[in-house]
Amino acid sequence: MKRTTITNTALAVVLAGLVAWLVLFAVNGSAAAPGSSPAEARAKQYSDITRAARSETLAFLAVDHTKMDELTARVLQGATGEFKKQYQTSLKSLKDAAVSQESVSKGHIDAVALGDTDDDSATVFVAAGSKVKNKGTKGKVEDRAWRMKLTMAKVDSRWLISQLEFVG
């Protein structure tokens, strides 16, 4: 057999494989492409929701009497709806209490679990804690445990807290 015949046969096999893949892609559409399955899209959504819940919870738990304007602005950036209204209403008393008590609190997240979710809302349960120091603790750092239920809403492609409840 001639060398050109072998080369032409090999090219025909490669071309046939490529054509078969193109037909498969045309028939199955985006399901034939990696990274675009419904399960992968749902996994990304879950990741986005839990990442936002962690971030917003940490912002909510952060207190430092020397920079309350900055810290409360972060909370408001991650808030929407009823939670945002309630938080805005309590801002003055929150800041006054933090300053008068010389409060400092740094939060941490122990666990995050998703409840019901759909394309634009989610229920998220967060187990968190914080290290708190203020006049009431006589300058000693105390551990606090928090269990929260967050209702998250997707607003302009961002997941924001629309309701926050402390749960048992």
Any idea what the CATH number is for the domain that residue 106 is in? 3.10.450.540
pTM of the entire structure? 0.78
Quote the crossing angle between the two packed helices 68-77 and 81-100, to the nearest 10°.
170
Residues 81 and 160 in one domain: yes
- Domain of residue 88: give its range: 38-166
Residues 106 and 47 in one domain: yes
Residues 100 and 77 in one domain: yes
Residues 101 and 61 in one domain: yes
Residues 29 and 86 in one domain: no
Distance CA 3, CA 57 (A): 69
Distance CA 87, CA 73 (A): 11
Q: Cα 79 to the chain's mean position, in Å?
A: 13
- Max CA separation in the chain (angstroms): 94
Residues 112 and 54 in one domain: yes
In 47-103, beta strands by DSSP E: 63-64
Residues 113 and 143 in one domain: yes
pLDDT by 10s per residue, the chain, length 168: 576 777 778 777 777 877 877 777 777 765 656 666 888 889 999 999 999 999 999 999 999 999 999 999 999 999 999 999 999 999 999 999 999 999 999 999 999 999 999 999 999 999 999 999 999 999 899 999 999 999 999 999 999 999 999 998
Contacts of 57 (CB under 8 A, 6+ apart): 107, 109, 126, 128, 148, 150
Residues 158 and 101 in one domain: yes
Number of domains in the chain: 2
Residues 85 and 156 in one domain: yes
Residues 23 and 61 in one domain: no
Residues 94 and 151 in one domain: yes
Residues 102 and 120 in one domain: yes
- Identify the H or E element spanning 34: none
